[in-house]
A and B are shown apart, each in its own frame.
Chain A
Amino acid sequence: MNNLRTPSGHRVYGMGAEYPSAAALYNAAKMVRDAGFKRWDVHSPFPIHGMDEAMGLGKSWLSGWVLFGGVSGLLTAALIEFGPSSFLYPLVVHGKPTNFMTVPAFFPIMFELTVLFGAFAAFFAWQIMNGLPRWHHPLFNWERFSRATNDGFFLIIEARDPRFTELEARDLLERSGGQHITIIHED
């Protein structure tokens, strides 16, 4: 946590700038990345292709959770199918055996639960990994920021970044073509 405060006594969340286009934001992101900042982010109304590399972010490993979800779905299906059908109450239908030899007839439900659990994993993982849902965020204190979901492109450097000083951040945002450079309050 940082102890920066504005003259009026508000804690400082960070410094933000607005950019006129996706391309300008993309180039600014590369500059901020190369300047060595770690706690910063860009905000845009849609995902910008190539921005992950421009920010120096790697692949999202959300896929690991989906794999985990899918495998647990498959195992759940095997359990709820073979448990009752082979052990708890073997039901002889069409004179067919109830053992593992009849596994093809159990495939559809295994497949469905694999997909179901995988989808739930993806759904919850993207929220949890993003720290969502959350009720409020300091960025909402910045009036202009409401355009981030419309047609605005923003870059925010957080004050808790070890390299953050007001002068350096402002200088970098100005040099990268940022407009409406503002200090954003924490509360």
Chain B
Amino acid sequence: MDQTPTAPEIIAAEASTAVEQPLGRVPLLLNRRNFSWLTERISGVVEQPAPRWWWVTFTITAGIAAFGLFCMGYQISTGVGTWGLNHPVGWAWDITNFVFWIGIGHAGTLISAILYLLRQRWRTSINRSAEAMTLFAVMCAAIFPGIHVGRVWMAWYLAPLPNNYGIWQNFRSPLMWDVFAVSTYFTVSVLFWYTGLVPDLATLRDRARSKIKKFMFGIFALGWRGSNRNWRHYEMAYLLLAGLSTPLVLSVHSVVSFDFATSILPTWHSTIFPPYFVAGAIFGGFAMVLTLVLPARAMFKLHDIITPQHIDKMAKIILLTGSFVAYAYVMEFFISWYSGNAFERFAFWNRIFGPYWWYWWVGMLFCNCLSPQLFWFRWCRRNLYVVYFVCMCVNAGMWFERFIIIVGGLHRDFLPSAWGLFIPTWVDIWTFIGTLGIFTSLFLVFVRYLPMIAMSEVKIVVPEADAHYATAVEHHPVAPGGKERT
């Protein structure tokens, strides 16, 4: 009799559940996976023998990469004349590819740094592979300015050293800024990525069976023991690296855009370029993250770690940044009309109806502006085929966008007598395809030999990682309305 709850108690109990339910969140890891499951599954990818599909894919991509390297060798030994560059188009596929690859890297740093500062815990499932993607994309990007100078053995002129006449670089040139921005970006990304890797390398070291593996992982794990006195400095370093990388990533594509914006060419000479380029870079980069992560997730059965919720969130970022990009396109047209400048107006008219018209209609309009709008619909964000289709559109669209900006500005400038067209040669085409091969091969090697998910970070989102975790917490994957919460 004593234990029958009184009316006020029942009301209080109901009120507390009513308050708690809307706060329930979909867990970031499905099926209540524990720490050792995470270690097993993620390390297992590295420890098991390579699956057959891996060898098949790697053989193909490495072959493409090798032919790309041959094209670069041919171009270096013969000269830049092997490319289709000529008057008036002196920058074409080379710089398009450079901007394309640099842009892709930005999503990795956004995930690893900006989302870390914003305490977006879902980043832990994808940050490692996105950061690796950043490194490989920046490597591919660095190839193009290196080889397009023609005499690559003179590339040391880029370094702040006087040449043999004692002449120094022009430090007020955007091209010089670019050298510093890209090399800093690559170096800081490597430091950040390796810092994150150390605890996971220690996991692999402690699991390694063979002596040689224990030795190799042992060297790179630096003797990490997971000590809290170490975590304390480590976490501060990680936070500060994230804090340093955040303005860095925004600066890199801004500086790339200065290469164009500080010139006087119509369609290049534009103050909207830095934010427009940064938004475009994150947009294209997230599409590439999904392009790589979705197959890896399927092949290595990582569905409990990279959940529909993660894909949904990335799709929303693509929608957001894609809409920034679309807004920037509209604003460019408006300003060219509003400026009253005949050359500006012509350049944008030429963009839509000139010889490269279909690049604009297909690449910029359909791929970049329209296709991400599908992500307004939840069904589209949850359907992997739709997600993959949009990502492929964005990958292609962002390449077209850079081509339109660069070649579209150059091929018809102020004097109609100087107009011309750009026709790529097979070397142009295969050098670009070769970098796609290099990029994919490097990524395949990465997923094979290093943990592609940050184990020490993803374990933090397991509920038991909380120091105050006491009893089984009730989870509410289904919101009161009946829909799965996102």
Is B a genuine binding partner of A? Answer: yes
Q: Is the CB of A113 within 8 A of B469?
A: no
B39 adjacent to chain A (CB < 8 Å): yes
Cβ of A55 under 8 Å from chain B? yes
Minimum Cβ distance to chain A for residue B175 (Å): 11
Judge if A162 is at the interface, Cβ distance under 8 Å: no
Main secondary structure of the interface of A (DSSP, over half): helix
Specify which chain B residues have a CB less than 8 angstroms from the CB of A140 in the assembled complex. 225
Q: Which residues of B contact A91 (CB under 8 A)?
A: 167-168, 170
Contacts of B194 in A (CB 8 A): 123
A84 lies within 8 A of B169 (CB)? yes
Cβ A123 vs Cβ B227 within 8 A: no
* Cβ–Cβ < 8 Å partners of A148 in chain B: 206, 225-226
Q: Are B233 and A62 in contact (CB under 8 A)?
A: yes
How far is A42 from B465 in the complex, measured between Cα atoms in Å? Answer: 14
Q: Which of A85, A105, A126, A133 contacts B234 (CB 8 A)?
A: A126
What's the Cα separation between A62 and B240 when bound, in Å?
A: 9
Q: Kindly state the separation between the CA atoms of A45 and B160 in the bound complex, as whole angstroms.
A: 44
Query: Are B230 and A45 touching (Cβ within 8 A)?
Result: no
- Whether A122 contacts B172 by the Cβ 8 Å rule is no
A47 with B39: in contact, given A41-B229, A130-B229 (CB under 8 Å)?
no
User: Which of B183-191, B287-295, B425-433, B442-450 touches A?
Assistant: B183-191
Q: Chain A 14-34, CB within 8 Å of chain B: the 1/0 string?
A: 000000011101100100000
B418: Cβ under 8 A from any A Cβ: no
Interface centre among B194, B205, B224 (most CB of A within 10 A): B224
Tell me whether A175 is interfacial, beta carbon within 8 Å.
no
Enumerate chain B residues within 8 angstroms of A47, measured Cβ to Cβ.
228, 231, 234-235, 456, 460
| CA A102 to CA B167, docked complex, whole Å | 19
CA distance A131 to B207 in the complex (A): 23
Whether B225 contacts A45 by the Cβ 8 Å rule is no
A60-B233, A125-B237 known; A26 and B225 CB under 8 Å?
no
A1 at interface, CB cutoff 8 A: no
Is B180 in contact with A23, judged by CB distance below 8 angstroms?
A: no
Q: Which of B359-417 contact A (CB under 8 A)?
A: none
A78–B242 alpha-carbon span in the complex (Å): 25
Q: Is residue A132 contacting chain B, with contact meaning CB distance below 8 A?
A: yes
Which stretch of B69-77, B195-203, B477-485 is in the interface?
A: B195-203
Given A49-B467, A126-B237, A134 contacting B228 (CB threshold 8 A) = no
Residue of A42, A70, A120 near B228 (CB, 8 A) is A42
Task: Give chain B nearest CB distance to A58 CB in angstroms.
Answer: 9
Is B223 engaged at the interface, CB distance under 8 Å to the other chain?
yes
- Tell me whether B465 and A122 are in contact (CB under 8 A): no
Interface centre among A113, A119, A140, by most chain B C-beta atoms within 10 angstroms, is A119
Whether A35 is near chain B, meaning CB under 8 Å from some CB there, is no
The docked-state distance in angstroms from the alpha carbon of A52 to that of B218 is: 27
Q: A22-B466, A81-B171, A112-B180 are in contact. Are A129 and B233 (CB under 8 A)?
A: yes
User: Does B248 sit within 8 A of A, measured CB to CB?
Assistant: yes
> Does A6 interact with chain B (Cβ within 8 Å)?
no
Interface assignment of A111: CB less than 8 Å from any CB of chain B: yes
Pick the most buried of A47, A50, A51, A80: most chain B CB atoms within 10 A of its CB: A47
- Complex formed: what's the CA distance from A145 to B203 in Å? 11
B49 near A: Cβ within 8 Å?
no
**A43 and B228 within 8 A (CB):** yes
B211-239, CB under 8 A of A: which get 1 and which 0? 00000001000111111111111111100
Q: Give the docked Cα–Cα distance between A124 and B470 (Å).
A: 38
B222 in complex: contacting residue of A55, A63, A108, A133, CB < 8 Å = A133
Question: In the complex, what residues of B have CB within 8 A of residue A22's CB?
Answer: 464-467, 469
Q: Are A51 and B171 in contact (CB under 8 A)?
A: no
Interface size class of B (residues with CB under 8 A): 35 or more
Q: Is the CB of B228 within 8 A of A51?
A: yes
Q: Are the CB atoms of A60 and B251 closer together than 8 Å? A: no
Measured between C-beta atoms, what is the minimum distance from B422 to chain A in Å?
28
B100 at the A/B interface (Cβ < 8 Å)? no
By a CB distance below 8 angstroms, the chain A residues around B162 are: 84, 88-89
**Max chain A CB contacts within 10 Å: which of B203, B245, B457?**
B203
Interface status of B177 (Cβ within 8 A of chain A) = yes
A48 partner residues in chain B, CB cutoff 8 A: 228, 231, 465, 467
- A residues in contact with B272, CB < 8 Å: none
Are the C-beta atoms of B467 and A84 separated by less than 8 Å?
no
CB distance from A36 to the nearest CB of B (A): 17
Enumerate A98-137 residues with CB–CB distance to B below 8 Å.
Answer: 102, 105-106, 108-109, 111-113, 115-116, 118-120, 122-123, 125-127, 129-130, 132-137
Among B224-280, those with CB < 8 Å from A are: 224-237, 240-241, 244-245, 247-248, 251, 255, 258
Contact of A106 among B35, B171, B237 (CB under 8 A): B171
Whether A63 and B180, one on each chain, are in contact in the complex, defined by CB atoms closer than 8 angstroms, is no
B25 to chain A, nearest CB (A): 17
Q: Which of A23, A81, A119 contacts B188 (CB 8 A)?
A: A119
| Nearest neighbor of B454 in chain A, beta-carbon distance | A46
Task: Give the residues in chain A near B191, CB-CB below 8 Å.
Answer: 119-120, 122-123
Q: Give complex CA distance A101, B346 in Å.
A: 37
Question: Is there a chain B Cβ closer than 8 Å to A167's Cβ?
Answer: no
A contact residues around B202 at 8 Å (CB):
149
Interface centre among B35, B224, B226 (most CB of A within 10 A): B226
List of 6 A-B pairs having minimum Cβ-Cβ separation, nearest first: A84-B168, A151-B35, A126-B237, A133-B222, A105-B172, A26-B467
Give me 20 other A-B pairs in contact (C-beta within 8 A), A26-B468, A66-B244, A123-B241 excluded: A23-B469, A44-B228, A45-B199, A47-B228, A52-B232, A55-B228, A60-B236, A62-B237, A63-B236, A108-B180, A109-B180, A112-B248, A113-B184, A119-B187, A122-B241, A123-B195, A123-B237, A132-B223, A150-B39, A150-B207
21 A-B pairs with CB atoms under 8 Å apart are A21-B469, A23-B470, A41-B229, A51-B228, A55-B228, A55-B229, A59-B236, A62-B233, A62-B237, A80-B171, A85-B170, A91-B167, A91-B170, A102-B172, A111-B251, A115-B248, A118-B240, A130-B234, A134-B223, A149-B456, A150-B203
